[in-house]
Amino acid sequence: MNKWWFLLIGLLLVTGCSEKKAPLQEPKLPSEEFIMEDYFFQENKTYSYRGEGNEYSAYTEVFYKRTDSYLPSVVDNGGTRILRIYQLTKKGIYLVYEQPEFYDEQIPSFEEMKKQFNPVPLLEKPIKVNSSFNNWKIINIKENVVLPIGMVKNVIIVEQQDHKNNSIVRKYWAPNTGMVKQEFITTDQNNEEFNVISELETIK
């Protein structure tokens, strides 16, 4: 009887040791992957932005047909027309060309302009809070924003601070849309805040 009793205790001790050596581990969840194309502008659409703060904060941006990775647009803010060319890559969204005072009826050929292209990142991976690129910092990746066009979810917010001029610029990027809001915030010597805001109102 004593022999069986000691054998049972021995088996319990072995089982206890085995449990301590192989603890259960929680499964690792896959990391979230942001696809840059999801945040790119829609081709053949006109974006209208409502503005406040100055006379040029309201504007329209007409996006034309996309050619390969390039998407041309013309901005009209009531004071001037600006030709822009954006580029989409797996790594980010870039403004590669900008020409103020553009009044032509047709978009020029990209082949004639490519020598002048200078990619400036507007949104770039890695998409995570506190990641930085070209003096911009990602401060939120899943913000819900109420705009004139309606509630927009999972918005990425990037921020650029100018400590010398005591100002902040923020841009808001939304899935399936592109940039839906931008704001310029500055504080004067009397600590009074001045804001210039452009918010997406319609897409047609």
Domains and their CATH numbers in the chain? 36-203 (2.40.360)
Average pLDDT over residues 82-88: 98
User: Per-residue pLDDT for 112 more than 90?
Assistant: no
Q: For residue 105, give both structure tokens.
A: 């009826």
The answer to whether 193 touches 187, Cβ cutoff 8 Å, is yes
Closest CA to 186 of 203, 173, 199, 169: 169
Higher pLDDT pick, 75 / 15: 75
- Cα(45)–Cα(52) distance, rounded to whole angstroms? 23
Residue 150: both structure tokens together: 């309606």
Q: Which residue has the tokens 């032509």?
A: 104
Query: What is d(CA 86, CA 68) in angstroms, rounded to the nearest whole number?
Result: 11
Look up the pTM and report it. 0.82
Average pLDDT over residues 7-22: 36
Let me know the angle formed at the C-alpha of 135 by 85 and 144, rounded to the nearest 5 degrees: 75
Query: What pLDDT does 132 receive?
Result: 97
Strand partners, 60: 48, 76
Average pLDDT in the 190-195 region?
Answer: 86
Check residue 32 and give its pLDDT.
59
Instruction: Compute the average pLDDT of residues 71-76.
Output: 98
Q: Given this model, what pLDDT does residue 111 score?
A: 84
Give the Cα separation of 141 and 43 in Å (integer).
Answer: 24
DSSP string for residues in 82-122 = EEEEEEE-SSEEEEEEEESS---SSPPPHHHHGGG---EEE
Nearest residue to 72 via CA among 55, 85, 87: 85
Angle at 188 between CA 187 and CA 190, to 5 degrees: 115
Output the average pLDDT for the chain.
86
Does residue 27 have a pLDDT over 70?
no
Which range has the worst mean pLDDT, 13-27, 56-70, 98-112, 143-157?
13-27
Q: What is the pLDDT of residue 44?
A: 98
- Give first-to-last CA distance, the chain, whole Å: 88
Q: Could you tell me where the beta strands, DSSP code E, fall in 64-204? A: 70-76, 81-88, 92-99, 120-124, 132-133, 136-147, 150-162, 167-174, 178-187, 193-203
